Amino acid sequence: MHNDHSAPAAPSDNEYRQQRIANLRELEQRGYRGFGAAFERTGSLAELRAGFAEGRLVRAAGRVVARRDMGKSAFLHLHDAGGRMQVYLQKNVLGDAAYEAFRFVDLGDHIGVEGECFTTRTGEPTIRAKNWTLLGKALRNLPEKWHGLHDVETRYRQRYLDLIANAEVCALFRKRTQIIREIRDFLAARGFQEVETPMMQPLAGGAAARPFETFYNALNAPMYLRIAPELYLKRLLVGGFDRVFELNRNFRNEGLDRSHNPEFTMLEIYEAFGDVRTMKALIETLIVHVARKVNGGLTAGSPERPIDLTPPWREAAYAELIRETAGADWDALALAPARERARSLGLDIPAEWDKAAITHEIYEKLVEKSLRHPTFVTRLPAHLIPLAKACEDDPSVVDVFELVIDGREIAPAYSELNDPLEQRRRLEAQAGGDPAKVDEDFLLALEHGMPPAGGMGVGIDRLVMLLTGAESIRDVILFPQMKGKAG
């Protein structure tokens, strides 16, 4: 029992909190409301700065993040999500009572001010406050103004502090929002209909992963959080929706690391009468479009590791990439020399592995990681992917691609299997003889006829990592999963 499931501890107390509560009481006695009502602003701080005009009367609100007190006058910096503005307080302008009361405002408090715009002799656009009002008292100290908040654990656990202290984090999450909006607009403009399918499912299908389990009392039945929306989206293809997509959360009861969070955002797209080639054209156009919109160009990744998204992207067969890494004679090698070849490439190969397993180890450990710029890997071995159609010229490989960028799988796409009899054989094999694990409701839908279709999944968090240069999935999820804190 490592995790602490008890109720969170009461907030810790300290001298700063006591001091701030005392200041709050002091302000209340002077007629201020500690936690004020709505405050009509002329604009956000960024808008006020953009529309700055000497002598203009404005109303501004924000968090006090810096304060330079000089006796009978003081400078403040107000801060909001998009910008910053300097405010000048003068005793003879505000009057004695309002000026004195301001002594009890702390860094971190939200205030509103009204006053005229002017420029200081150092050239800083500034509001000369005629009056001020308290909008929300802060009872806790903020991270330090200069060094900011570095502690990674605090940044994730108390993201609001990260957003206050680190402007680039704010900018990254704005970009994430923009990316998702561009994707929706792009797909809508091409006739794709956004749909919502169940997140709570009686069987967790459409992928191979451990699901989170819960219990629905009214039905007296177990339920699972979805690991993929795929089987419901295919039911919609049967129903005649010919272009659908869903952009929402999946849940997988697996480990946590730099590229895995138990809940993550997935885009799944299905196009009736298409196949893997229509998906290829779609994803290339989509990512190029989004990169141009949010990055202003086709360079992605981090400055240390730039990625060139200029189309057309490379397309290469799985076997071809293996030969590039393992030798042109790889296909002809017998098991023993193949094992020796793989070991000579630095891989740890157990003696009992067959050649297909060794080949895939080379792909995962050497080939995939070396594919920095976008590459469509096609014609994967059929045994790896049970839900795709076989290639017509070679039944040992399937008609799919995996889009790999910066060594990470960004989007797999298939020519979807629409043969209900074949689908039943594969699902029954996957269920390992347990009929309760076969999604009969899905098979019933398929038996009513699903058109041929191209389908694709796009890991949105990983796409955001690519377009922002983030190195951890935790940097692109506002509230990433963390272990419970004990001790």
The interaxial angle of helices 167-189 and 460-468, nearest 10 deg, is 120
* Residue 5 touches RNA, criterion: CB under 7 A: no
Q: Does 437 bind RNA (CB under 7 A)?
A: no
> What's the rounded Cα separation, in Å, for the pair 76 and 67?
4
Residues 155-174, interacting with RNA (CB under 7 A): 156
Nearest to 223 by CA among 251, 244, 263, 243: 251
**The only residue of 106, 246, 406, 461 in contact with RNA, by rule CB under 7 A:** 106
Helical spans, DSSP H, in 114-249: 152-157, 159-165, 167-189, 230-238
| Of the candidate residues 10, 55, 122, 217, the single one contacting RNA (CB under 7 A) | 122
Among 141, 178, 248, 295, binds RNA (CB under 7 A): 141
Q: Does 26 bind RNA (CB under 7 A)?
A: no
Least separation in angstroms between CB 368 and RNA: 9
Cβ closest to RNA, residue 338 vs residue 366: 366
- Contact stretch for RNA (CB under 7 A) within 8-16, 177-185, 294-302, 417-425: 8-16
146 binds RNA (CB under 7 A): yes
Alpha helices of 296-384 — where are they, by DSSP H?
318-326, 335-344, 355-362, 368-370
- Could you tell me which of 227, 229, 219 has the C-alpha nearest to residue 198? 229
Judged by CB under 7 A, the chain residues 337 through 376 that form the site for RNA are 348, 364-365
Classify the C-alpha dihedral 459-465-471-477 as positive or negative: negative
Contacts (CB under 7 A) with RNA, residues 215-254: 254
- How many whole angstroms separate alpha carbon 11 and alpha carbon 24? 18
Minimum distance of RNA from residue 440's CB (angstroms): 22
CB of 154 to RNA, least distance (A): 6
- Of 11, 55, 71, 303, the one binding RNA by CB under 7 A: 71
Using CB under 7 A, which of 14, 29, 177, 310 touches RNA?
14
Residue of 91, 184, 293, 373 interacting with RNA (CB under 7 A): 91
Measured from the CB atom, is 121 or 220 closer to RNA? 121
Strand partners, 79: 63, 84
Question: In terms of CB distance, is 79 or 274 closer to RNA?
Answer: 79
Stretch that binds RNA, among 205-213, 305-313, 398-406, 425-433 (CB under 7 A): 205-213
Separation in Å, CA 407 to CA 259, 337, 370, 373: 12, 28, 6, 8
Asked if residues 451 and 273 have their Cβ atoms less than 8 Å apart, the reply is yes
120 lies in the site for RNA, by CB under 7 A? yes
Task: Indicate whether 147 belongs to the interface with RNA (CB under 7 A).
Answer: yes
Residue 86 binds RNA, judged by CB under 7 A: yes
Of the candidates 286, 279, 281, the one whose C-alpha atom is nearest the C-alpha of residue 454 is 279
CA–CA gap between residue 27 and residue 34 (Å, rounded): 7
Binding flag, residue 429, RNA (CB under 7 A): no
Binding of RNA by 258 (CB under 7 A): yes
213 DSSP β-pair partners: 224
Contact 443, 427 (CB under 8 A): yes
The angle at the Cα of 374, spanning 370 to 375, to the nearest 5 degrees, equals 75
Which one of 50, 97, 188, 208 is in contact with RNA (CB under 7 A)? 208
Residue with tokens 């790999």: 404
Applying CB under 7 A, the residues found at the interface with RNA are 2-3, 14-16, 19, 23, 66-73, 75, 77, 86, 88, 90-92, 103, 106-107, 118, 120-124, 126, 140-154, 156, 207-210, 254-255, 257-258, 348, 364-365, 471-472, 474, 482-487
